[in-house]
Chains A and B, each alone.
Chain A
Amino acid sequence: MDTALETDQLGKRYGDTWALRDCSLHLPAGRVAALVGPNGAGKSTLLHLAVGLLRPDAGTVRVAGVPPYDNTDVLSEIGFVAQETPLYPDFTAEELVTMGARLNRRRWDGTLARTRLAQLGIPPDKPVGKLSGGQRAQVALALALAKRPRLLLLDEPVASLDPLARREFLQALMGSVAESGTTVLLSSHLLADLERVCDYLIVLHAAQVKLVGPVEDLVAEHRQLVGPRHHGEPIRGVTEVVRASHTDRQSTLLVRTDGPVDPAWTVHEVTLEDVILAHLADGETQTSNEAWGVPA
């Protein structure tokens, strides 16, 4: 399977702080991937590295096999919608489409952009600064799609939209990428936004990759176990205990499995949200306790 985006030991540092560290992942072509993590987890940094806005401080990032930094050949194959969908507020949508044509001489489908904007009822002659947030997001998406990208990156595209505009935006996105086979990576701090549209998941937390894989596999290999008080001894069929909570007599574990589990445990299926929350909870409080100078 082709790889649309791959990173190897990728790292980016701001001063002494690593915004992203030891990030190794690969995103197969044709997937619609969700990049999930709390605010400040490094999602934007990863996307900016992928779209060549940032140069890595460690490791490599490749889009279709080529590092994107300062490489206009690759840039013309990536569609990018940045956080808060920035557009020149005094330009009309029509002028923005013209701008796209002037800046993307190699590949630009102005007809596609105009058709989309017409279908969405966006006025061509009104400054985009006066449009609603949802309409602006649609204009930004139309501009990104008009590049006919092989990889489409969207940074928190729906974060500032109301629920109705969110659904319309995601529908428009899915409708268009389904036809073209474009690989999509979109970030959000809310899984609920993306759960219905994504078939691949990358979870980032505190600058590190916590979880990567196809959604189906992730859900299939995680299980919740309930059983007698557990003290860390190995359990048959379990490769990793992601999260454990205990009462005096009973333990509840969220685990990754690779086969039938010891029948002493009651096994429950889990949702994708359970899996993500379990992985995010891991290690979350440790740094904060240190920062506040209180015991864990």
Chain B
Amino acid sequence: MIWLTWRQHRKQALFALAGLAALAAFIVPTGLAMRDTFAELGLPDCVRTLGKLGPENNEACLTGYDQFISQYGAFLLVGILFLVLPLLVGLFWGAPLIAREVEQGTHRLVWTQGVSRHHWALVKFGLIGTGALIAAIGYGLGVGWWLGPLNQVGQGDRFDGFFFDMQGLVPVGYTLFAVALGVFAGTVWPRVLPAMAGTLVGFLGLRIGLAMLARPHYLPAETLTFPVMGTAVAPNATAGDWVIASGVRNAAGELVVDGGSIECPPNPTGPGANCGADLEAGTYNWQLYQPADRFWLFQGIETGIFVALAALLLYLAIRRIRRIA
């Protein structure tokens, strides 16, 4: 069985290796260059101190950040392309696994030999799953390393949307889920193209749905309030918190500005002297956020959900295989 699995899937394995090699060829040089610039601009020190001092104390750091972002910010867009990699594994490894056998009729050849289809399925799922796991770990760690400097300067906070999705543990969960969904789709629509289409729709639907609706609520969000006047306790934009909602509330707690904040320096003078003068007394800034130190916990929760779904889908696939003839 192991020989057969290798013989059938070696092309896919080689494509995946070539893909990972191409990815490495891109992220290793650019990642090293980013790190060099990061160090030249003295940003590592800024990252260490900034969170504690508040941004207004560090003009040089902010200038450095801006310079870094203008130089490398475009890479964030390239990074978004990496989001499709787990889906590609699901489409090209998962979906054809059963669908192509049934489409070509070869399931009737291989399931009537001296190996039960249960055994066949376990070996195939095991080996393909292991391959996907190794590829996903390599991808998750690599992209996490690559994004490090960009995440640290507060552009593309690693807890936020896309950047959460493309690094750390979650790519492993997504990849295993995509493969399992592809396999399962192949048992529902035993043709390669419909199985791929089903995988595409199911994967995007669940990923987007969970990221938008469920992820902000994995743990109750923390609330931060700070006065309009004087920004001494204003949140540090580079701390890595995930801000879910923010606004300005009046003394009664009603939202008067949805999104954004109003921050006035203490005892303003000059052109901005009447900053905040038109606001009711007691108006304050309000922020709902997930603290940065929950990053790995959230990664673990999201990965756990997708791995559990993958296991469920593979179990259902094995049950359905028993009825394919």
Which residue numbers of A lie inside 8 Å of B, CB to CB? 48, 51-55, 70, 72, 75-76, 78, 80, 82-84, 86-89, 91, 95, 98-100, 102-107, 140, 143, 147
Contact = CB atoms under 8 A, between A and B. Distances in A.
Contacts of B322: 55, 70
Contact of A53 (B1, B118, B325): B325
A118 B275 CA distance: 93
B110 A103 contact: yes
Interface in B1-52: 1, 3-4, 7-8
A72 B116 contact: yes
A269 B108 CA distance: 42
Interface residues on B, range: 20 to 34
Contacts of B3: 98-99, 102
Q: In the complex, which of the residues A83, A89, A103, A143 has the most CB atoms of chain B within 10 Å of its own CB atom?
A: A103
A99 B114 contact: no
Given A51-B112, A53-B112, A84 B7 contact: no
A143 B113 CA distance: 10
Contacts of B115: 72, 103-104
B105 A103 contact: no
B109 A86 contact: yes
A51 B113 CA distance: 10
Contact of B113 (A82, A86, A103, A140): A103
B55 to A, nearest CB: 60
B104 interface: yes
Contact of A86 (B4, B106, B116): B106
B105 A84 contact: yes
Contacts of A75: 112-114, 116
6 contacts: A70-B116, A78-B112, A88-B8, A98-B3, A147-B113, A147-B114
Contacts of A82: 105, 108-109, 112
A95 to B, nearest CB: 6
Given A48-B325, A86-B104, A91 B7 contact: yes
B195 to A, nearest CB: 18
B324 to A, nearest CB: 8
A106 B114 contact: yes
B317 to A, nearest CB: 16
A80 B108 contact: yes
Given A99-B4, A102-B3, 8 more contacts: A53-B108, A70-B322, A75-B112, A76-B113, A88-B8, A91-B7, A99-B7, A103-B114
Contacts of A52: 112
Interface in B215-272: none
A52 to B, nearest CB: 7
B114 A107 contact: yes
Contacts of A104: 113-115
B320 to A, nearest CB: 13
B296 interface: no
Contacts of A72: 114-116
B315 interface: no
Contact of B105 (A83, A98, A99, A106): A83
Interface in B291-320: none
A140 B105 CA distance: 13
A88 B108 CA distance: 11
Contacts of A76: 113-114
A84 B106 CA distance: 10
Nearest to A105: B114
A131 B4 CA distance: 21
Contacts of B110: 103
Contacts of B117: 70
A284 B113 CA distance: 37
Contacts of A143: 109
B122 to A, nearest CB: 14
Q: In the complex, which of the residues A53, A83, A106 has the most CB atoms of chain B within 10 Å of its own CB atom?
A: A53
A105 B2 CA distance: 13
Q: In the complex, which of the residues A76, A99, A100, A140 has the most CB atoms of chain B within 10 Å of its own CB atom?
A: A99
Nearest to A99: B4
Contacts of A105: 114
Nearest to A70: B116
